Copies of this chain bind each other. A is one copy, B any other.
Amino acid sequence: MSLDLSGIWAPLVTPFTADEEVDLEALAFNVELYGQTPLRGYVALGTTGEFVHLSDDERGRVIETVVRAARGDHRPVMAGVGGHATRVAVEQARRAADAGAQALLVWPPFYYKAQMDAEALVDYFTAVADASPVPVILYHIPQNTGVALSPAVVGELAAHPRIAGIKDSSGQPSQTIAFLREGGPGFAVFVGSTTALLAGLAAGAAGGILATANVAPYECCEVYEHGRAGRWTEAAEVYRRVAAVDELLSRLGLGAMKAALEMLGYRGGYPRRPLVRPDEAELDRLRLLLREQRLLGC
């Protein structure tokens, strides 16, 4: 694989208009702005991108829009795919690759939780990877799915020629360390939570796929670049700022992330209901924090 699975990737928000239609123009606008940043790549249709809120048709158009907008900058696009049935995930994987995705971020099934034992999970991810023409990244986000990928399952899957890494969104450095150990050399572990970024990079993670990279792309990349170059002092200084922002944004939810983007000159738009924008008091708190951490108005 010639794809460079490292560095900081932004899992892009999918902006919606006030009447909840996908706003592809706003999406392309953001990617264009990000073209000036050192972001390594983009993820379309991750958790931040409201994958679960979109139709297949909308998903295709989102991927195509991001791929087209990113082409000028030669940045790769990873697409979120998944399904409760293996065949749905396989179909999603093919469509996403057809739409131009150069890698896939793959959810586990998460409805029949009690049945999602090691055997079922290995069977599912293997089938998706077998069908995928592009590298597959496993997606570990137990707080949303209620399904945990054990280090042992990840170690087994890492042997598949097309399973190239994992995004660990648990927020727990101990998980990242376990995945690094079980995945072995060449298995790309992406930190999936900005608060866990410094620890993950120090432990050997390949990079980060970070919601907060939407609002602080330069800063997230600085943490990575400083760490990569062994300048952990500088890395830690910037980390402190983005982690504080991430902690608040995570608690307030996706509507807050979109509002923050608007404050910063990007086009965040609205989330789809039942997600909502936070109220004014919360927005003020957010503005204050963005200012304190020198992301806004400086």
Counting chain A residues whose Cβ lies within 8 A of the other chain, the interface size class is 35 or more
This protein's copies in its complex? 4
17 extra interface residue pairs, beta carbon distance < 8 Å, beyond A114-B253, A173-B199, A177-B244? A52-B84, A85-B274, A112-B253, A115-B253, A123-B274, A123-B276, A127-B273, A146-B146, A172-B172, A174-B246, A198-B198, A198-B199, A199-B243, A203-B240, A203-B244, A204-B240, A230-B233
Give the distance in Å from the alpha carbon of A256 to the alpha carbon of B37 in the complex.
47
Q: Identify the closest chain B residue to A89 (Cβ).
A: B274
For the residues of A in contact with B, the DSSP-based class is: helix
Cβ B239 vs Cβ A144 within 8 A: no
Residues of B within 8 A of A253 (CB): 112, 114-115
Q: In residues 47-73 of chain A, which contact B (Cβ within 8 Å)?
A: 47, 50, 52-55
The verdict on A158 contacting chain B, using a C-beta distance below 8 Å, is no
Selected contact of A181 from candidates B50, B111, B247, CB within 8 Å: B247
Most buried by B among A87, A202, A244, A276: A202
Cβ B232 vs Cβ A236 within 8 A: yes
Give the distance in Å from the alpha carbon of A195 to the alpha carbon of B176 in the complex.
9
Rounded to whole Å, the gap between the CB of A207 and the closest CB of chain B is 16
Cβ A84 vs Cβ B53 within 8 A: yes
Rounded to whole Å, the gap between the CB of A108 and the closest CB of chain B is 9
Residues of B within 8 A of A144 (CB): 111-113
